Structure 1
């Protein structure tokens, strides 16, 4: 048999090695493509919708409701209320050090704001949070984009309107060149665009364009810094109308919630927390005035529930998801309770602002999420620093 030279043996050796490497790389490349294909099929949220918490630590949320900035802005009383509201927020923020602030609607009283861009007052309202470098998220209330209402005091013999209107025309709204004295209000879209434009700490979102109303319907994800794919909780924010819309969560919004929750949390394995401004009609059933459910927790039952105009299916969806732990609303300044409903909790925030009706003491609702073994706790933090109405909301609420 003819012996091959070392040169030819080396060529054959390298040839076989290259075939083996090519086979390995092909399999590896296929596996990588398949892995990334499977990852891409998973329903995910954009990175801008994700908040992070360190493993083993808790995540704290301060809820500010019904601030009503800009109310009676032409009087001495009005601006002073905004100063008082800022003091309440600063007290809560400096004592609680939250990881996120939720502005739960009626941030401004737009129907009292006699300027073309009400975002100036919105910016004042979020300034305590922004100045401390704390992220926030917001939803709209019924006063945030209401059209301006002329004050009758402006037309009295001693009234001094804050603006000089054109003299022609029989009324300010009919005056020539009317834009100087016609305040149509700042739309939800304008308010949201102005908030997002200069604030990189805002997690507020515009929402899907196909929805009606489309602004401030979105979901945020809370994940661990060590494992972003491991979701701790989903937080849903919905626009409950009012102002330029009926006071209702529409059927379209309910369908959006259903599609979104089924896509990102199909097995209801991840806890879900819900925020909107105007209480649903279910709030009337759990705590009618002066006859609260015996398991309700809270210090204030000072008025009747002022609910949405109709129920369009949202509550039925929430009742059917075991992952939904609690719904948080504002709107009623005299209520701050949490009551069990079906297998979840219905909760009010605490009236935070000095604007708006009522003289009850101000404060904020505090939520605390523990991550190692999920729990959702809540309490009310008052403007004088006192704390009350602590409740564990991750436990199964009592059947009605």
Structure 2
């Protein structure tokens, strides 16, 4: 019996070996020190993988099998897509289900397909990436061992979280970013959540971390965005990535009820997570998190910044595995205090076999055309590439999105016979309603 347990643990522990020989890593390293750029054809594509949830139940055979299947999803998508950047948009690892000594090693498994293809990536961190046995700082340190990683931490301080930064994207041929003005800005935010690393209350319980973009990060975002405008003398179009969506996504989704708010032909996508779980869910306005409040409004400063940033075309989130639609936020939705300015709020596709839900896995793709951006037609084409190879939800996020007609997205399910989807993480909405206040923020 002991031999079997040791074997299972060995299978569950990520390899400490690098996916590529050291010489190959060094040979490619210089390619990742150059700034991101559009292709010579004037396009730039992002592939978004989210909610991979590596590391669940490493002591059972089904846990490592989930991770194997998740790597297959990444490979199947990238066999058909050629992104200039891969975004890992939160919940890379189910941290509360991992051991302190091996939690961040799962990063190596996640990025192996990217390293082997010579692709570069950038991450945001989600609520499951912050826990007692894992920290955002630890994940960042592990990512930064790879020259391919562009993940950064630009806002210091405990309250800020970790993955708050920007990446500029330049026209092809820009070899000196000091002399070139960016054509596109990519903003990354840490919505935090989960628990603080290795911290306990006097009663032994773990110390919960707020689950919204901190006000200090919002100030940094506003100031940095304004500096770019002042320096370049123009508005630079941008995209943003944050794991947990804001209250605006839930307000749009619920305005007219589940069937009428998100139109399957105007905002095609899966709409099974109803209502979606947003930032500051379960918190009180005064900062209490004792189960007595449904939503505290602490994400209002972030929503105000989103809605007042010229050129911000879309914000991409994960967290809610059963939501894959985009919605144009262009008005004041009843019950809210912040009016949208036309920014698109998008969910991706549950990419990993870890975490709750059996929706077919996949990855949202986003493609931009430099000619359109320079003409101030700030629009993006986006679609979801499924692990089956099929494409669903192919839409153009432009001024008429929300009125244009598109084919509905089929609600396809896939199953892993050796996986157990109920042990660790049920869906955000039901999880937060059923669990105790301490556990609600997982």
* TM bracket, shorter-chain basis: 0.7 to 0.9
C-alpha distance after superposition, 1:212-235 (max 9, x if no partner): 224110000000133451322100
Quote the offset at 1:123 in angstroms: 1.6
Matches within 5 A, 1:304-343: 304=274, 305-309=276-280, 310-342=298-330, 343=342
Structure 1 unaligned blocks of 5 or more:
1-46, 148-184
Aligned partner of 1:291 in structure 2 is: 260
Q: CA deviation at 1:316?
A: 1.0
Match of 1:189 among 132, 137, 162: 137
Match of residue 99, structure 1, among 81, 84, 100: 84
Cα deviation per residue 1:176-205 (whole Å; 9 max; x = unaligned)?
xxxxxxxxx122112111210x21111100
The structure-2 alpha-carbon separation of the partners of 1:111 and 1:88, relative to structure 1 and needing over 3 Å to count, comes to same
Alignment deviations for residues 141-162 of structure 1 (CA, whole Å, 9 cap, x no partner): 0001222xxxxxxxxxxxxxxx
Distance 1:386 1:90, change over 3 A: same
**In 2, Cα distance between equivalents of 1:292 and 1:382:** 25
- Distance in 2 of aligned mates of 1:100 and 1:339: 23
Q: How far apart are residue 116 of structure 1 and its match?
A: 1.8
Cα RMSD (Å) of the superposition?
A: 2.0
Contact 1:207 1:214 in 2 (8 A): no
Mapping for residues 192-341 of structure 1, pairs under 5 Å: 192-196=140-144, 198-210=145-157, 212-227=159-174, 228=177, 229-244=180-195, 245-266=209-230, 269-288=235-254, 289-294=258-263, 296-304=266-274, 305-309=276-280, 310-341=298-329
Residue from 70, 76, 87 that aligns with 2:61: 76
Q: How far 1:397 moved relative to its partner? A: 5.5
Q: Calculate the TM-score normalised by the size of structure 1.
A: 0.75
Using the TM superposition, give the Cα deviation of residue 207 of structure 1 relative to its aligned residue in structure 2, in angstroms: 2.1
Shift of 1:130: 1.6
Change (3 A) 1:262 1:48: farther
2:116 to 104, 110, 131: 131
**Which residue does 2:96 correspond to in 1?**
111
1:126-165 residue pairs with structure 2 within 5 A?
126-147=111-132
Q: What's the CA shift for 1:356? A: 0.3
1:105 deviates by 0.4
What stretches of structure 2 of length at least 5 have no aligned partner? 1-31, 196-208, 281-297, 331-341, 374-378, 404-442
Q: For residue 114 of structure 1, report the CA deviation from its aligned partner.
A: 2.3
CA distance in 2, matches of 1:317, 1:204: 22
Kindly tell me: are residues 317 and 398 of structure 1, through their superposed partners in 2, closer, same or farther at Cα, counting changes over 3 Å? farther
Residue 52 in 1 paired to residue 37 in 2? yes
Go from structure 1 to structure 2 and tell me whether the alpha carbon gap of 1:135 and 1:74 turns closer, same or farther (over 3 Å shift).
same
Query: What is the number of equivalent residue pairs in this alignment?
Result: 315
Alpha-carbon distance in 1 for matches of 2:170, 2:153? 22
CA change 1:214–1:356 in 2 (3 A) is closer
8 Å CA contact 1:365–1:379 kept in 2: the answer is yes
Q: Which moved more, 1:254-263 or 1:202-211?
A: 202-211
Q: Report the alpha carbon displacement of residue 50 of structure 1 after superposing the two structures with TM.
A: 2.9
- Inter-partner Cα distance in structure 2 for 1:268 and 1:111: 45
Is the 1:130–1:201 contact (alpha carbons within 8 Å) kept by the matching residues of 2? Answer: yes
Q: In the alignment, is the contact (CA less than 8 A) between 2:349 and 2:364 conserved in 1?
A: yes
Work out which of the two has the higher radius of gyration on C-alpha atoms and give 1 or 2. Answer: 1
Deviation per residue, 1:310-363 (Å, 9 max, x gap): 324111122112311000000001010001102110000100000000111111
* Distance in structure 1 (CA, Å) of the matches to 2:83 and 2:37: 13
Structure-2 separation of matches of 1:263 and 1:296 = 36
- Pairwise CA distance, 1:394: 4.1
How far apart, in 2, do the equivalents of 1:211 and 1:394 lie?
A: 38
Secondary structure of 2:260's match?
Answer: coil
Q: CA deviation at 1:211?
A: 6.7
- Whole-angstrom CA distance in 1 between matches of 2:235 and 2:102: 43
Instruction: Tell me the distance in 2 between the aligned counterparts of 1:252 and 1:312.
Output: 13
**Most deviating of 291-300 and 332-341:** 291-300
